[in-house]
A and B are shown apart, each in its own frame.
Chain A
Amino acid sequence: MLTFESVSYRYAGAARASLQDVGLVIGSGEVIGLVGASEAGKTTLCLVAAGLAPRTVRGTLIGRILLDGTDIAPLAIHELAGRVGIAFANPATQLSGVAGTVYEEVAFGPMNLGLSRSEVIDRTEAALSALKIIDLAEREPALLSGGQQQLVAMAGLLALRPAHLVLDEPTAQLDPRGTRLVAEALARLAVDGASILVAEQKTDLLASICDRVVALDAGRVALDGPAGEVLGDPRLADLGVAAPASVRLRRLADAAGPGPEALTQLDGALAMEATA
């Protein structure tokens, strides 16, 4: 269980805090979506959850992050590697750059942790099969498509057996096929019982896999509740977040009302929607 206790975070040299008094609980096995406008603090929250902020990115953290009840503040970043895994938007920069094959790439994390050779092999193969990319094992990571690289990155994280997975806009730089690959993989992980925090602009993706959704506004938690409720909340638009397609369609249908003219109206509204 990952708990944020009144967490505020300000980057070194920044004028304002990126996160203000955030309280959040991610239970084990929960899949939580994170939405918000561009500078609302989603990335910062992900970095803080993984411990990269303040360790790697410098800044001041006020409040506590608790992992199963213990404060993670005294832990070094490599000690957190096995507890919280984080994936980013750019698939290429997550590759280590020193692995000749996908297999070595996924094994990179466990190798760094100094586990026994058999343990490293077990974990690598488990991670590859969990994401169904065993057939990519001998390929060169740099030559894969964006979506495939993102899956390799996620496998690399899974090999560390973290208690929680944090993903910061994993599909942002992918084409539709890549997005689908990642979405399917996430869905499978969710079904397997992984604890996931995924920040995304694509609320459709979140609608299909998340139990809960948290909306951020200027560094504060604006909404926090079951996925259906939050994603259907009309205030989302004010927060700069596009509601999922299903919600938009329902609203258009409601606005159009019952009756045959409704269909024409709906048609027109959908056309306007398409060009918006």
Chain B
Amino acid sequence: MDSSRWTRAGIGLAAGAALGIVLYAIGQAWPMAGAVGFIAAHLVYALVTRSQTGEWGPLRLSAGLVAFAVATYVGIIVFGNFGDPNAVDPVTYANTKAANSWALILTVAMVIGVVVTYGLELIQTGRLASLSGQFGTRTYLLMAVGIGVNIILGQTVASALKIPIYLDSIGTILVGVLCGPIAGAITGGLGNILWSYVIPPPFQYQPAAAFAITAVAIGAIAGLLGRAGFLRPRPNRSTGVLLIGGAVTVGLVGGLAWAASLAYTKIFETEISLFPDPAKVDAIFVVLGWLALGLVVFAVVGLFALLLLRRDLTAAYVVVAGVLTGIVAALISAPIAAGVFGGVTASGTDFLVAAFRQAGLDVEAATTGQGLISDPIDKVTTFFTVYLILAALATRFKARFPQGEMVLEEAPS
């Protein structure tokens, strides 16, 4: 990103953070404050961009985000509070109504957001250039390959390797980054539906369709991040810049994780900490806690090592992208996993869910907890894989894709 774009982004972030803090101070819940702050940040960035460069694109996207947020909020109010334990069936502890309503609300809200964003473009310019531009023969072919890769890798991991990650979004994110958010969203959604209903065994994975909405969100986010240039290689940066990048990433990720755990304890009214009192909780949780800490330390060390060894700043961007996407994915899919499947999807994540439930949490809290652990790890791995794939592709090849220019190194100015 050039410096003026950094400035504008900075202004937006500052405004959003300020608003979020104010909201929290006057008593709003963390997630609410965070979400509003984020949207406000993007809105300010878009307004500043419009006044500086005359571009309408970010502002339209902002309008879409606002519409999405409003629609989601209205939906939640209308359907009632789902995190409320009283809405849960006391016998089965499954809240199918909540799961279905959640998926429905999100779908409708996403559609509204998309309609607003592209509708504005249609009204203003009379055409849908940014939508149709995402699609072309190349896009359709890459989508097909992406769906195939999703299914093969996802199925292998789900059935053969019992590890708590999924690896079923590599294709989705690749298409999103190279072609655009809507293309990525369709790859994800269509892919999951095909995975459940159309692909024959042994590659069929029936639970997949329920999570189609998650895949749609992942594809859309990947597309937006790709458009923002997150996966552009940034080689040969000075050590100082690399260290700052690493520090910022760790700070961001740490902050996000802390905010997430705060929100978690507040919503589910339980106490989860990394260092539980051994007398109160089973040994398994203490072990898990230390394991998690170990993983975090390893990840931080690994990140810095990667940055300094390869001198490519994009490693930091990749981690941020992965964590962000992972948290969103977890929040979307947890209620679905809880409501439709009782938290069990025959994949390696089940033992994590079991562990949480052992600690006395209900299904929803368990799946959310599991998701918040598995998804960021999974998405960071996926984003890294996509980055590696992109690095292995020829420049001429990448350039011909709709968002291909955003993954090429910037020409020295």
Contact = CB atoms under 8 A, between A and B. Distances in A.
Determine direct contact between A and B, CB below 8 Å: yes
Contacts of B396: 11-13
A207 B37 CA distance: 74
A217 to B, nearest CB: 23
B406 to A, nearest CB: 15
A47 to B, nearest CB: 13
A12 B399 CA distance: 9
Nearest to A58: B400
Interface string B379-413: 00000000000000001100110000000000000
A57 B399 contact: no
B144 A97 contact: yes
A101 B137 CA distance: 22
Interface string B306-335: 000000000000000000000000000000
Contacts of B399: 12-13, 58
Nearest to A77: B137
11 contacts: A11-B396, A12-B396, A12-B399, A13-B395, A13-B396, A13-B399, A56-B137, A57-B400, A58-B399, A58-B400, A97-B144
Interface of A: 11-13, 56-58, 97
A248 B221 CA distance: 63
A56 B401 CA distance: 11
Determine the interface band of chain B, counting residues with CB < 8 A from chain A. Answer: under 10
Interface of B is mostly: helix
Contacts of B144: 97
Nearest to A98: B144
Interface in B39-60: none
Interface of A is mostly: loop
Contacts of A12: 396, 399
A206 to B, nearest CB: 29
A97 B145 CA distance: 11
A56 B400 CA distance: 9
**Of residues B144, B395, B396, B399, which shows the largest number of chain A Cβ atoms within 10 Å of its Cβ?**
B396
Contacts of A97: 144
B69 to A, nearest CB: 39
Interface in B112-151: 137, 144
A12 B398 CA distance: 12
A56 B138 CA distance: 9
Nearest to B400: A58
Contacts of B395: 13
A247 B144 CA distance: 49
Top 8 closest pairs, chain A to chain B, by CB: A58-B400, A13-B399, A13-B396, A12-B399, A11-B396, A13-B395, A57-B400, A97-B144
B129 to A, nearest CB: 17
A13 B400 CA distance: 11
A97 B140 CA distance: 12
Contacts of B400: 57-58
A92 to B, nearest CB: 14
Nearest to B137: A56
Interface in B258-287: none
A12 B396 CA distance: 8
A11 B396 CA distance: 9
